[in-house]
Amino acid sequence: METIKEVSYEMLTSQETRHNPTPLYQQLRTSEPLVRLQMPGGTQAYLLTRYDDALQILKDPRLLKDSRQVLTPEERQKLIRNEEAAELLTRHMLSSDGMDHTRLRNLVSKAFTPRAIERMRDRIQQITDELIDAVQEKGSMDLIAEFAFPLPITVISELLGIPVEHRQKFRVWTNALLNSNGFQDPQAKQDVHNFITYLKEFIAEKRANPDQEMVSKLIQADEAGDTFSEAELISMVFLLIIAGHETTVNLIGNGTLALLQHPDQLHKLQQHPDLVISAVEELLRYTAPVEISTQRWTSEDMELYGQVIPKGSMVMVSLLSANTDTNEFMDADQLDITRKENKHIAFGKGLHFCLGAPLARLEGQIAFNTLLRRLPDLSLDGDPKDLVWRSNLLLHGLNSLPVTF
């Protein structure tokens, strides 16, 4: 087997790899589990692909999320493709360490406890049924645009207090932010600016006219002296919008495709809807809604596999690869909705474990059971080879998923 010493962003996000990532990641895990990754703009990162390494890196205190702690201003400047976005949209808990991370996480954590999320069950079920009501007579739909996206964006918008008429804008704006070329394209730059402007105006409106939803509560916490800067507040709302829907969009889209491609598993879930909890966990493992962890930075020189990773280096983990590592999961390349031992890391691990995991899980459980109950003859409309995957390294998801029923 040929040893791969370096991979590129383009290689990992190509349609060929996205359609079938297993061969590449299997080769990397076997021959080069620590590989250099060339990012857009010439930045070099280090990518780890084995499950055991992923656990170590995601919990290692020597890896920091805030690049300001390890990079010089000149080094950070080379990475910044949009100063306005970098300043306002990277001051949230996912880009913080230590006490800053704890402070920011504590300010929002109560809204995402399992008990708080369980209280949302009936409303999530209602939204899910309304979305299916809207398409049932047509006999077909784009499952991403008409179901997988509107379900979680509606839920998180209601949680934050965002008016219903504004929600569709977020699909355009988040795509612009997550696109690898987004900061070079003039329209994408404008979309990013519009997103930031919206957040500023939305928060100003909530200051003037508070309600009982989360953003108003965050503002009130800030005003009560909980040391929430304006930039942190904007950045936190941004994170909650993005993380509050993107993972679930991909879980529902990728998961539905996986079930359609494994009809035995689909029929098993239809016949035994009580399997939905283990089914969602298996779909999270198998379909990897988030492909690559967000970046971390070495606070000191680190040695792995005989290589020295210099201080200030960008390090990432392939969650998709780790979750299909045959050393951790028996028959890792097989979809098994009854899998018992399933310690997947689709939501990360350690201090930065996804705060919204209980919400994503509940949305997925309701979405899959409702889809299969109300649209029992659901099928893919077209050849799976013609499906187009999003060209973003962080997220692993489809642009669209045409289905009939």
pLDDT, one tens digit per residue, over 67-118 is 888 888 777 766 666 666 666 667 889 889 998 899 889 888 888 888 999 9
Q: What's the confidence (pLDDT) of residue 88?
A: 65
Among the ranges 36-40, 222-226, 281-285, which has the highest mean pLDDT value? 281-285
Question: Is residue 203 predicted with pLDDT exceeding 60?
Answer: yes
- Positive or negative: CA dihedral 88, 40, 61, 318: positive
More confident residue, 344 or 228: 344
Q: What's the confidence (pLDDT) of residue 198?
A: 93
Domains, the chain: 6-404 (1.10.630.10)
Q: What's the confidence (pLDDT) of residue 82?
A: 61
**Mean per-residue pLDDT, 256-273:** 98
Alpha-carbon gap, residue 366 to 248, rounded angstroms: 12
**Mean per-residue pLDDT, 262-286:** 98
> What CA–CA distances, in Å, run from 177 to 39, 334, 390?
16, 33, 13
Q: Per-residue confidence at 148, pLDDT binned at 50, 70, 90?
A: very high
Q: Would you give the distance in Å from CA 290 to the centre of its chain?
A: 4
209's CB contacts (< 8 A; 6+ apart) are none
pTM of the model: 0.93
Q: Which pLDDT tens digit goes with each residue over 243-259?
A: 889 999 999 999 999 99
The enclosing H or E element of 102 equals helix 98-109
What percent of the chain lies above the pLDDT cut of 90? 69
Alpha-carbon gap, residue 2 to 13, rounded angstroms: 21
Of the listed ranges 137-151, 190-204, 288-302, 345-359, the one predicted with least confidence: 190-204
Q: What's the confidence (pLDDT) of residue 40?
A: 83
More confident residue, 260 or 234: 260
Burial of 251 (0-12, 13-18, 19+ CB in 10 A): buried
